[in-house]
Amino acid sequence: MLCGLAAAQAQDTAPPAPSHAQDDKRATGESYQQIIDRLGDGMLENLVIRGEHNARTDARAKKRFYTQLAPMDDYPAYAPKQQLSGTIRISGLYLHDGLIKDQWVAAFQKFQPGVKVEIVQQGTIASGKVDIQTGPRIADRLREVSEYERSTKQRIFEVDWATGSYNVPGWSPGFVIFVHKDNPIAHMSVDQLDGIFAGARTGGWKGTTWDPGSARGADKNLRTWGQLGLTGEWADKPIHIYGRPLKYNIQLGFERKVFQGGDIWNENTMEYSHEMNPDYTRYTSSVEMVKDMAADKYGIVFSDMGSSIPGVRALPLAATKAGPFVAITEQSLRDRSYPLFIEQWAQARLAPGKPLNPLVKEFLTFMLSREGQDAIQRDGKWFTVPASHAREMIARLDAIGPQVDERELGLQTDMIAPKKWEGESPDETGKVSATQAYYTKRFDLSGLPAYKPGAQVSGVIRMPASGQMMASKVGPALVAAFEKLHPGVKFEFKDGDLNSGQVDVSMGRKWTTYFAGEYYNFQMKHERSPREIQIATGSADVSGWSPAFAILVNAKNPIKGLSVKQLDGIFGGPRRGGWAGTTWRRQAGRGADQNIRTWAQAGVTGYCANKPINVVIPPLKYHLMSVFERKVLAGGNIWNDTAREVPLALNADKSRTVPSADRAKIVAEDPCAITFAPSTFAAAGTRVVPISDAKGKAFVKPSLDTVQQGSYPLGLGVYAYADQLAGQPMEPRLKEFLRFVLSREGQEIVQADGKWLPLTAKVARAQMEKLDVVTPQVVAPKPAKKPDIYLPPDSSEGS
């Protein structure tokens, strides 16, 4: 109830409208796809934003910001335990581009002349391309750590070897909590920050493990300044939160330090992202959000000291309410007495029952030694770790790899990051056969264009060997039929990444598009967008095969139907914008006035009418949640902060739970609850709610017919991705193969397999037209004014 009250108060005393707001960037009420169709997929914006980032970072890389050289006598001198030979490779973008690289290479090779040291910008220990990986903490990035555990069958070994900067953008400046200069609050504890910035939660992430011990209730939410002890005019004033998009890497570190790994944020958080200005300069999120907060007496923001301006004040912080409360300074970061410092991490492989590789251990020892730490201070951006911490980390290097239960390793991987050639979520039941036909109905496909071969094509088409396309009968049948029509074409099957040029086409789930998603990564690497073609419709209800979302309520709930906008109001929170494509757009925003928090607001009378809607969802880090965000929240990441997350877990006998079934059971037992899941999980005591794609339109239930025809708005798709050079047509043999897949004959093969559903004639023809499109090269125009390379950017830019 406290959350609902806070939302109402936030409307009564809303923060001032940002002075920079532009009419063309205000919320429009359009859907995700409508925004993309009108404004594009974000390629141009990302070139501008990334270009300015690179210019500023390059200018800082060789600059010493801190010139103080502290005595290093307390640090252990590096003394080789043995002389080694070979090559060691270390990755880290900011490590590579700064001044440390050359100092480390030269110093280490004096001690170990038989060792060649290579420090590269990119590379992961999961791929085996590097021996030590530095940068943001892998354990905070669940996708990466899950994939590592699945591929190696071991836990990640990690030590932290440096402290982030005080105010150097990109070099991990410590988190600073700013309030308005007139705010009388003296200080805060980390627990209070949790109460302000986070919502209630059922647990949090510790690596790939969901920890119920991190749970906390809504009773610990802090939504007014009075709850923090302020009196008088401040007592009933809501706290206005300014922040960054929740997909930014910097948020993950804040979640670990403040939310104990939880990922439910206060739904009233106003997100500020980098954006492209009309003059092709970059709107810098940390600068703008602090500027706007300075004009808001009741605001609060976490940022960095590089963003400090007149009108705001940095608060002293303490790890607990008992104190001591410490102001952020260079010294309090150096000695780590300030609780919100950011660490620099090094990760390496450590096999169960085995010690670290001797060369890896020697180099990590060197990094933490007097010589390694001296190079850090001479670089003048990061700070050294305290000498006592360096000794502690060196002692950890004697560790023996822990024995692990393979059933627990990578447990969440398929939920967090299903492979590109799989469906949107894994088969939770574990019972679906890839070769079984679950649907026998045959749709009339006579309206689809029949395949008429054009000129004979030849050559090799490379495709992933695994995944649903090839595990089912669809892939082999499409390949065999096409090879018969074009005998000069041969298919080569080997798992690989289109982004790296290892395959020519990847077929499966829709690529994630937001910041750091697959689509975005392709854009940043190639400076063009991949070609996306829908090749099938997802299933109606086959677990694991991109089934449509069904909305489940208790069987006693009298709701007749809900629109997609109402679902947004129930599951989502107010938002300043969302990820429509790979750029964050304010057009996807909406206000708190569109929240639906009681069943009466959805038109329900009776028992639950004036009771809160109890929202039950998968954990927000699951891939499926980004799909729901795209379909329902217009790409927004702000969720109802009373939502209850139900994760995948292990039962006492080490068998896996079935999260969708668990959520359905909760709804069956709670008359006021709601969730989403494939309709196959609609258990006794629940019912499926009909959905409309817009207010006033007919409500539609998910079924074979409504999902295939597209009248049910929450159906999903199956996609092919290919590369296509700007200004050039698609490679002929690939275009011909995709044209066959989209034809009547190709869709008959999809239909005969009995899981995915065939495309309608309208959709198939629209996708065929895409094959003929030649896209121009996207070039970021030069800005009207030269960017200030020392202007503090958002600290999410690197760590």
pLDDT tens for each residue of 544-557: 999 999 999 999 99
pLDDT in tens, 748-772: 999 999 999 999 999 999 999 999 9
> Sign of the CA dihedral 229, 232, 236, 242?
negative
Hey, what long-range contacts does 29-33 have (CB within 8 A, 24 or more apart)? Answer: 29/590, 30/587, 30/588, 30/634, 31/564, 31/634, 32/578, 32/580, 32/588, 32/630, 32/631, 32/634, 32/635
- Closest alpha carbon to 10 in 196, 137, 157, 186: 196
- CA–CA distance, 47 with 64 (Å, rounded to integer): 28
**Mean pLDDT estimate for the chain:** 93
Tell me how long the chain is. Answer: 799
Name the residue among 250, 225, 101, 246 with its Cα closest to residue 171: 250
pLDDT score for 19: 39
Nearest to 344 by CA among 171, 172, 175, 162: 162
Q: Give per-residue pLDDT as tens, 560-593.
A: 999 999 999 999 999 999 999 999 999 999 999 9
Task: Give exposure, 469-485, as e/b (b: 16+ Cβ within 10 Å).
Answer: bbbbbbbbbbbebbeeb
What is the pLDDT confidence band of residue 786, given thresholds at 50, 70 and 90?
Answer: low
Name the DSSP letter for residue 112: -
Contacts of 781 (CB under 8 A, 6+ apart): 280
Quote the Cα angle for 647-649-653, to 5°.
Answer: 160
- Give 347-401 pLDDT, tens digit per residue: 999 999 999 999 999 999 999 999 999 999 999 999 999 999 999 999 999 999 9
Mean pLDDT confidence for 68-91: 95
pLDDT at 781: 86
Task: Indicate if the pLDDT at residue 225 is higher than 60.
Answer: yes
Determine contact, residues 600/610, Cβ cutoff 8 Å.
Answer: yes
Q: Supply the DSSP symbol for 34.
A: H
- Cα separation of the two ends of the chain: 38
What confidence score (pLDDT) does residue 369 get?
98
Least-confidence region, from 186-190, 437-441, 451-455: 451-455
With CA atoms as reference, report the closest residue to 554 among 625, 627, 611. Answer: 611
Region label for 714, one of left (φ > 0), alpha (ψ between -120 and 50) or beta (otherwise): alpha
Contact 621, 411 (CB under 8 A): no
Helices (H) and strands (E) in the chain, counts: 24, 30
Which pTM does this prediction carry?
0.94
Residue 353 amino acid letter: G
pLDDT at position 644: 98
Return d(Cα 242, Cα 285) in angstroms, integer.
10
pLDDT, tens digit, for every residue of 475-513?
999 999 999 999 999 999 999 999 999 999 999 999 999
Q: How far apart are CA 552 and CA 616, in angstroms?
A: 10
ω into 324 cis (within 30 of 0): yes
pLDDT band at 1 (very low <50, low <70, confident <90, very high): very low
Question: CA triplet 766, 771, 774: central angle to 5 degrees?
Answer: 115
Question: CA of 64: how far to CAs of 53, 103, 328, 331, in Å?
Answer: 19, 14, 20, 17
Mean of the pLDDT values across residues 312-318?
98
Question: What is the distance, to the nearest Å, from the Cα of residue 127 to the centroid of all Cα atoms in its chain?
Answer: 20
pLDDT in tens, 632-665: 999 999 999 999 999 999 999 999 999 999 999 9
pLDDT score for 706: 98
C-alpha 512/C-alpha 491 separation (Å) is: 27
Q: What is the pLDDT of residues 684-699, one digit of tens each?
A: 999 999 999 988 899 9
What is residue 374's predicted lDDT score, i.e. its pLDDT?
97
The fraction of the chain above a pLDDT of 70, given in percent, is: 95
Residue found by looking up tokens 């532009």 in the block: 22
Summarize the chain as % helix, strand, coil (round to 5): 35, 20, 50
Residue 147 pLDDT: 87
**Is the pLDDT confidence value at 26 over 80?**
yes
Residue 7 has pLDDT above 60, yes or no: no
Measured CA distances, 539 to 233, 517, 704 (Å): 56, 24, 8
**Distance between CA atoms of residues 224 and 561, nearest Å:** 35
Domains of the chain, start order: 2-8+174-339 (3.40.190.10), 62-169+342-396 (3.40.190.10), 425-508+531-542+716-722+728-770 (3.40.190.10), 550-701 (3.40.190.10)
**Which residues, 6 or more positions from 215, have their beta carbon under 8 angstroms from its beta carbon?**
201, 202, 203, 204
DSSP letter for 599, please: G
Torsional sign, CA 291, 244, 563, 715: positive
Over residues 302-322, mean pLDDT:
95
Structure tokens at 564: 């997609």
- Give pLDDT, residue 6: 33
- In 618-683, the DSSP E strands lie at 644-645, 673-677
Which stretch of DSSP H or E encloses residue 686? strand 686-689
Output the CA–CA distances (angstroms, integers) from residue 693 to 352, 577, 701, 715, in the order listed.
Answer: 52, 20, 12, 11
In 3D, which of 728, 720, 526, 726 has the Cα closest to residue 46? Answer: 526
Q: How confident is the model at residue 125 (pLDDT cuts 50, 70, 90)?
A: very high
Tell me the β-bridge partners of 466: none
The lowest-confidence range among 288-292, 344-348, 453-457 is 453-457
The SS3 of residue 150 is: helix
Amino acid 787: pLDDT: 59
Q: Which residues of 432-443 are buried (b: 16+ CB within 10 A; e: fewer)?
A: bebeeebbeeeb
The secondary structure of 160-178 as a DSSP string is EEEE--SS-TTS-PPPEEE
3-class state of residue 346 by DSSP? strand
Residue 105, both tokens: 């290479």
Whether 139 has a pLDDT exceeding 90, the answer reads no
Please say if the pLDDT value at position 448 is more than 50.
yes
Sort 567 into a burial class: Cβ within 10 Å, 0-12 / 13-18 / 19+: buried
- DSSP character for 46? H
- Provide the pLDDT for residue 780: 87
What is each CA distance from 71 to 75, 378, 672, in whole angstroms?
Answer: 9, 12, 63
Mean pLDDT of 596-609: 94
